[in-house]
Amino acid sequence: MQRIAVIPGDGIGREVTAAAHTVLDAVAARHRLDLAYDEFDWSCERYTTEGAMMPPDGVDRLRPYDAILLGAVGWPGVPDHVSLWGLLIPIRRAFRQYVNLRPIRTFAGVASPLRDAASVDFVVVRENVEGEYSEIGGRLNRGFPDEFAVQESVFTRTGVTRIVDYALELARARRGYLTSATKSNGIVHTLVFWDEVVAERAAQTPDVRWDAEHIDALAAKLVLQPQRFDVIVASNLFGDILSDLAAAVAGSIGIAPSANLDPTRTHPSMFEPVHGSAPDIAGQGVANPVGAVWSAAMMLDHLGHPAAAADVQAAIEACLADPGTRTRDLGGTADTAGVVRALVAHLGG
Ligand code: NAI
Ligand code: MG
C-alpha cells in the first residue's frame, strides 16, 4: 500500500483535489493500485481560527507518507506571504524537495494566445529550496528616510550541482537539449558561479546539447519560439517566473501541473497544480480540474505507476479535445463535475 497525504487548502484547491481524488480512484481500480489517503484541513481557514496554517508538528505528521497531493493555499484576509511561508515553503524545505518540475505542452482544443504554438512540449526545472528565496537579510532604520532592506541570494555548489544534474538527466531521457537560464552579465557573483557549475556538469554529459540564455532574452524566446525548448533549468526566482509565462503560452493556468520532488526519495514529494485558490470563482463548481489531475498523474509516475499515469494523460487529452468536456476558462461548457465524469468514463470507470 502507498499512502498519500491530501491537503486541499483553500478556495478551488478543495474542488480540484476532490476531482483529482475521484480520477485517482478510477485509475487505481483499473490498474489495481493500492492507494490510501488521509486528508489534512491545513489552510487559511485554519489560520483564521487557530492562528497557524498547520499544527507545529505538521511536517512530522506528513513524513511517513509516500506522497503529498496539494490543492492551493491563499485567501483574501490572510497575507500571501503568511500562507506561503506557513505551509508550502516549510514542506518544500523540510522534505528537501529541491526540484520543482513544471511540464508545459499544448493540447488539441486548448487555444494558445500565440498564433503558432503547435507542438510546444518542454519542461521547466526550477531550483526549489535556495537561490533568491532565502531568509537571509533584514530591514534597518524603519520609518526613517535612510530605511533600507537587504535580501541575500544563496547559491551553493551542492544545490546548483544537483538541480543541473537532474535537468541533464531529464534532457537525456527527452530530446537531449538543455537551456540554462542565467543573467551572469548583470549578476556577477551568484550567476557566474551558476554558469560555471552548469558548464562543468554538462561537460560530463556529452550526449546532451546545451546552451545558456540570459533570462530577459529567454523570456522573449519563450513567446516567439516556444517549440525550440526541451528542458530549461533555472534558479528559484527565474524558474518561478518562467514557468508561469510558459503556462500562459500553453494556453491556460488551469491545466498547468507541478511536482516538488526529493529525487533521493528520502522524503515525500509533493504534487500540486500551478494555479492558486482563485477566490473569484471558488464555490461555483466551475474550476478547471485538469491542473490537479495532471499533477496527480505526475504523482502516479513518481510512485512507480507509469502506465496508470499515461492513462490519465490520455484521458486528459481526450477531454480537452471536446468543448463539451472542457471548462469555461478554455471556452468550453463543462463544469468541474462534468470534466471529472468524462475523465472517469475515459478510464473505464
Ligand atoms: P489564481 O491562480 O488563484 O487565479 C488567477 C486567475 O486564474 C483567476 O482569474 C482564476 O479564476 C483563474 N484560474 C486559476 N485556476 C483556475 C482553474 N483551475 N480553473 C479556472 N480558472 C482558474 O492566482 P491569484 O488570483 O493570483 O491568487 C489567488 C490566491 O491563491 C492568492 O492568495 C495566492 O497567494 C494563492 N496562490 C497559491 C498558490 C499555491 O498554492 N501554490 C499559487 C498561486 C497563488
Ligand atoms: Mg508562481
Tens digits of residue pLDDT in 179-206:
999 999 999 999 999 999 999 999 999 9
The count of structural domains within the chain is 2
Question: CB 77: neighbour CB atoms within 10 A?
Answer: 8
- End-to-end CA distance of the chain: give it in Å, rounded: 21
Give the number of the atom of ligand 1 that is nearest the alpha carbon of residue 280: 11
Last residue of a domain, one of 250, 283, 301: 250
List, for residues 225-278, the tens digit of each pLDDT value. Answer: 999 999 999 999 999 999 889 888 888 889 999 999 999 999 999 999 999 999
Give the number of the atom of ligand 1 that is nearest the alpha carbon of residue 255: 18
Q: Is residue 268 classed as helix, strand or coil in its secondary structure?
A: coil
Domain enclosing residue 6, as ranges = 1-97+253-349
Instruction: Answer yes or no: is pLDDT of 172 > 80.
Output: yes
Which mutation among 100, 253, 316 tests ligand 1's pocket best, with the greatest number of atoms within 8 A of CB?
Answer: 253
Give residue 36's Cα distance to chain centre: 23
Catalytically active residues are 133, 183, 216, 240, 244
Does residue 18 sit within a domain? yes
| C-alpha to C-alpha distance for 290 and 269, rounded to whole angstroms | 20
- ipTM of this model? 0.98
Q: What is the pLDDT, as a whole number, of residue 311?
A: 98
Q: Which of 228, 182, 186, 231 is CA-nearest to residue 205?
A: 231
Give me the CATH number covering residue 29: 3.40.718.10
Ligand 1 in reach of 80 Cβ (< 6 A): yes
Mean pLDDT computed over 283-303:
98
Cβ within 8 Å of residue 239, ≥6 positions away: 100, 102, 124, 125, 126, 127, 128, 181, 232, 233
Beta strands in the chain (DSSP E): 2-9, 35-39, 67-72, 99-105, 121-127, 137-140, 148-151, 177-182, 209-214, 231-234, 257-261, 269-273
Q: Which of 60-69, 82-91, 149-158, 305-314 has the lowest mean pLDDT?
A: 82-91
Q: Which of 301, 262, 293 is CA-nearest to residue 275?
A: 293
Q: Are residues 236 and 152 in the same domain?
A: yes
Mean pLDDT computed over 305-316:
98
Q: Is residue 125 classed as helix, strand or coil in its secondary structure?
A: strand
| C-alpha to C-alpha distance for 128 and 124, rounded to whole angstroms | 12
Q: Are residues 207 and 225 in the same domain?
A: yes
**pLDDT band, very low/low/confident/very high, at 162 (cuts 50, 70, 90):** very high
Q: What is the pLDDT, as a whole number, of residue 252?
A: 82
Instruction: Answer yes or no: is pLDDT of 31 > 80.
Output: yes
Q: What is the pLDDT, as a whole number, of residue 121?
A: 93
Give the number of the atom of ligand 1 that is nearest the alpha carbon of residue 13: 40
Instruction: Answer yes or no: is pLDDT of 118 > 80.
Output: no
Q: What is the pLDDT, as a whole number, of residue 114?
A: 81
Q: Are residues 222 and 140 in the same domain?
A: yes
Q: Are residues 260 and 239 in the same domain?
A: no
| C-alpha to C-alpha distance for 190 and 183, rounded to whole angstroms | 9
> Taking a C-beta distance cutoff of 8 angstroms, is the pair 268, 262 a contact?
yes
> Taking a C-beta distance cutoff of 8 angstroms, is the pair 250, 290 a contact?
no
Mean pLDDT computed over 309-330:
95
Give the number of the atom of ligand 1 that is nearest the alpha carbon of residue 292: 18
| Residue 338, C-alpha cell as written in the block | 462534468
> Taking a C-beta distance cutoff of 8 angstroms, is the pair 205, 172 a contact?
yes
Q: Are residues 228 and 116 in the same domain?
A: yes
Q: Are residues 271 and 220 in the same domain?
A: no
Amino acid at 18: A
| Residue 281, C-alpha cell as written in the block | 470563482
Last residue of a domain, one of 250, 270, 303: 250
Instruction: Answer yes or no: is pLDDT of 38 > 80.
Output: yes
Last residue of a domain, one of 216, 250, 284: 250
Q: What are phi and psi of 64, to 5 degrees?
A: -70, -10
Q: By CB neighbour count within 10 A (0-12 exposed, 13-18 middle, 19+ buried), where does 177 fall?
A: middle
> Taking a C-beta distance cutoff of 8 angstroms, is the pair 268, 67 a contact?
yes
Amino acid at 291: G
Does residue 105 sit within a domain? no
Q: Are residues 244 and 155 in the same domain?
A: yes
Q: Are residues 245 and 330 in the same domain?
A: no
| Atom 33 (ligand 1) nearest CA | 74
Q: What is the pLDDT, as a whole number, of residue 70?
A: 98
Does residue 226 sit within a domain? yes
What ligand is nearest to the CA atom of residue 133?
2
Q: Are residues 34 and 86 in the same domain?
A: yes
What ligand is nearest to the CA atom of residue 11?
1
pTM: 0.94
Q: Are residues 69 and 129 in the same domain?
A: no
Ligand 1 in reach of 281 Cβ (< 6 A): yes
What ligand is nearest to the CA atom of residue 335?
1
**pLDDT band, very low/low/confident/very high, at 305 (cuts 50, 70, 90):** very high
| Atom 37 (ligand 1) nearest CA | 276
Does residue 102 sit within a domain? no
Q: What is the pLDDT, as a whole number, of residue 135?
A: 86
**pLDDT band, very low/low/confident/very high, at 96 (cuts 50, 70, 90):** very high
Q: What is the pLDDT, as a whole number, of residue 248?
A: 87
- What mean pLDDT value characterizes the chain? 96
Instruction: Answer yes or no: is pLDDT of 63 > 80.
Output: yes
Ligand 1 in reach of 73 Cβ (< 6 A): yes
Q: Are residues 221 and 266 in the same domain?
A: no
Does residue 127 sit within a domain? yes
> Taking a C-beta distance cutoff of 8 angstroms, is the pair 86, 23 a contact?
no
Which residues are registered as beta bridge partners of 67? 4, 269
Ligand 1 in reach of 74 Cβ (< 6 A): yes
